[in-house]
C-alpha cells in the first residue's frame, strides 16, 4: 500500500477543519476519496455530514464497526506548518484529521482485499459537540445495520509512536457542558452605585465554583469543573450588564455529576440573591462515560502483546469525554489511545502529532480486523 497518500490526505483534511454538523467540505472530500476506491465490495450511505461505508465480508459471521470522528474545534492554529488550517478560528486540534486518514487507509486495504467479516466504517460528525454519536445511533441506517462489535481510537500526544494505551472497563469520564448567563444592570463606570456589575458577579461565581470539587466531592471519586471561556461587557468604561460563563464538568460517577449540578444550582441562586441579578443555566450536551467491554478489550490487549512493534500500556481512566461512549453502551467494543508524540497536547493550537503513527496504525488495524 502507498502509505504516503494517507499522510497527504491527513494534511489536506487538516487544512479544512469544520465544526460539528457543518462538516460539508470534509464529507465531500471523504466521499470523493471513497468513491475512487474499487466499489465491488463497498456500499456508501450518508447521514447528515457523516458517512457509512459497508465492506461486504466474503463469509461473514458478524459486522465489525470502526468509527472515526470528523469535526474540528473552534480555535486558532498556532503552528507554522505548511499545511496549517485554512479555516480561520478552526483547527483539527484534537487529531480527528489523523482519525479520518487512518480510517481511510484501513478502508482502502479492505476495499482492495475483501475481508472475511463484514466491516462498517462510520465517519461521525460533531464529537466535540453537540454530539453526533447518539443521533447517529438512532438513525434509520444504524437501526437497520446494527454492528456486533465496534472500535475507535483517539490520538495521545503524550505517548511515543508505537505505543497503544487502553484498559478494560472505564476509560473516559461522563461529561456535561455548562453555560451560565448572568444579567444585571449596565451603567457608567464612574457611577457603580446606579448599576449592577455582571463582571463582578460572574467572577465571584467562578471563584466559588472552585470549592465544589475540593469540598463537595469524595476525593477518591475524581471530578473536574473547568471554565474555559468568560465573556461580558462591551467597553472598558461601561459597567457590564451581561456576562456569560462557559465550561465543562467531568466525573467518573453519575452520582458526582448530579451533586456537582446541584451545587452549581445553589451557588448560582446565591449569586442571584447576593448581586440582585438573574442567571440562567444551560447544561448543553452531556456524554456518557466510555466503558470498554471487558472480553473484547481483553482479546485486543492479547493481540497487542504479541506484536513486537507495539508497546502496550495499561493506562488509567482519563477525564476526557467522548460520545463514542454511546456506541459502547449498546455495542460491545473499545476505544484506545494511539501514541503520536507531540510536545503540545490535545486542544493546543500547537498540537503537532507525528505522522509516522499513520502507516503504523493502518497496518496494525488491518492485522487486527483480519484476526477478529
Ligand X SMILES: CC(=O)N[C@@H](CCC[C@H](N)C(=O)O)C(=O)O
Active site residue 69: yes
CB 101 within 8 A of CB 184: no
Among 163, 174, 248, 361, binds ligand X (CB under 6 A): 248
Q: Annotation-wise, does 188 bind a ligand?
A: no
Among 53, 94, 198, 212, binds ligand X (CB under 6 A): 94
- 287 near ligand X, judged by CB under 6 A: yes
Gyration radius from the chain CA atoms = 23
Among 27, 124, 175, 341, binds ligand X (CB under 6 A): 175
Active site residue 354: no
**Other CB atoms within 10 Å distance of the CB of residue 101:** 26
- 129 near ligand X, judged by CB under 6 A: yes
CB 172 within 8 A of CB 318: yes
How far apart are alpha carbons 172 and 116 in whole angstroms?
Answer: 32
Q: How far is the CB of 322 from ligand X (least distance, A)?
A: 5
How far apart are alpha carbons 348 and 217 in whole angstroms?
Answer: 29
- 240 near ligand X, judged by CB under 6 A: no
- 292 near ligand X, judged by CB under 6 A: no
Residues 310-329 that bind ligand X (CB under 6 A): 320-322
How far apart are alpha carbons 35 and 42 in whole angstroms?
Answer: 9
Closer by beta carbon to ligand X, 224 or else 372: 224
Binding string, residues 322-361; x marks residues near ligand X by CB under 6 A: x-----------------------x---------------
- 259 near ligand X, judged by CB under 6 A: no
- 289 near ligand X, judged by CB under 6 A: no
3-state class of 88 per DSSP? coil
- 174 near ligand X, judged by CB under 6 A: no
- 97 near ligand X, judged by CB under 6 A: no
How far apart are alpha carbons 45 and 105 in whole angstroms?
Answer: 19
Sign of the torsion formed by the C-alpha atoms of 316, 125, 143 and 120: negative
Q: Annotation-wise, does 87 bind a ligand?
A: no
227 to 65, 205, 235, 274: CA distances (angstroms): 35, 11, 22, 21
Grid look-up 473516559 returns: 172
Binding string, residues 197-236; x marks residues near ligand X by CB under 6 A: ----------------------------------------
Q: Annotation-wise, does 92 bind a ligand?
A: no
Kindly state the helix (H) or strand (E) to which residue 198 belongs, with its residue range. Answer: helix 198-211
**Other CB atoms within 10 Å distance of the CB of residue 94:** 24
Closest CA to 180 of 204, 200, 205: 205
The residue ranges that bind ligand X (CB under 6 A) are: 94, 128-129, 154, 175, 177, 248, 285, 287, 320-322, 346
Active-site positions? 69, 128
Annotated binding site for Mn(2+): 94, 96, 128, 154, 347
Amino acid at each position: 500500500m502507498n502509505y504516503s497518500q494517507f499522510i497527504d490526505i491527513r494534511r489536506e483534511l487538516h487544512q479544512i477543519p469544520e465544526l460539528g454538523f457543518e462538516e460539508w467540505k470534509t464529507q465531500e472530500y471523504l466521499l470523493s476519496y471513497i468513491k475512487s476506491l474499487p466499489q465491488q465490495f463497498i456500499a456508501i450511505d450518508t447521514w447528515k455530514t457523516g458517512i457509512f461505508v459497508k465492506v461486504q465480508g466474503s463469509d461473514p459471521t458478524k459486522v465489525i464497526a470502526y468509527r472515526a470522528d470528523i469535526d474540528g474545534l473552534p480555535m486558532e492554529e498556532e503552528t507554522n506548518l505548511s499545511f496549517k488550517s485554512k479555516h480561520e478560528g478552526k483547527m483539527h486540534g484534537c487529531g480527528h484529521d489523523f482519525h479520518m486518514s487512518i480510517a481511510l487507509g484501513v478502508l482502502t486495504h479492505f476495499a482492495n482485499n475483501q475481508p472475511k467479516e463484514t466491516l462498517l466504517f462510520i465517519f461521525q460528525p460533531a464529537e466535540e459537540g453537540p454530539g453526533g454519536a447518539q443521533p447517529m445511533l438512532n438513525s434509520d441506517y444504524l437501526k437497520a445495520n446494527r454492528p456486533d462489535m465496534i472500535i475507535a481510537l483517539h490520538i495521545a500526544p503524550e505517548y511515543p509512536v508505537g505505543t497503544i494505551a487502553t484498559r478494560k472497563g472505564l476509560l473516559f469520564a461522563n461529561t456535561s457542558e455548562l453555560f451560565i448567563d448572568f444579567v444585571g444592570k449596565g451603567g457608567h463606570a464612574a457611577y457603580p452605585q446606579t448599576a449592577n456589575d455582571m463582571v463582578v458577579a460572574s467572577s465571584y461565581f467562578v471563584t466559588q465554583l472552585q470549592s465544589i470539587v475540593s469540598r463537595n466531592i469524595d476525593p477518591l471519586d475524581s471530578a473536574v469543573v473547568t471554565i474555559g471561556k468568560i465573556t461580558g461587557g462591551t467597553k472598558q468604561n461601561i459597567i457590564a450588564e451581561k456576562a456569560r460563563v462557559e465550561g465543562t464538568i467531568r466525573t467518573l460517577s453519575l452520582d458526582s455529576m448530579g451533586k456537582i449540578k446541584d451545587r452549581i444550582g445553589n451557588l448560582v441562586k446565591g449569586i442571584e440573591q447576593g448581586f440582585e441579578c438573574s442567571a440562567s443555566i444551560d447544561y448543553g450536551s452531556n456524554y456518557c462515560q466510555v466503558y470498554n467491554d471487558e472480553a473484547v478489550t481483553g482479546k485486543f490487549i492479547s493481540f497487542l502483546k504479541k506484536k513486537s512493534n507495539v508497546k502496550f500500556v495499561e493506562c488509567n481512566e482519563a477525564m476526557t469525554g467522548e460520545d463514542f461512549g454511546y456506541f459502547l453502551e449498546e455495542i460491545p467494543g473499545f476505544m484506545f489511545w494511539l501514541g503520536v508524540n507531540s510536545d503540545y497536547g490535545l486542544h493546543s493550537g500547537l498540537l503537532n502529532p507525528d505522522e509516522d503513527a499513520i502507516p503504523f496504525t493502518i497496518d496494525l488495524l488491518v492485522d487486527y480486523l483480519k484476526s477478529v
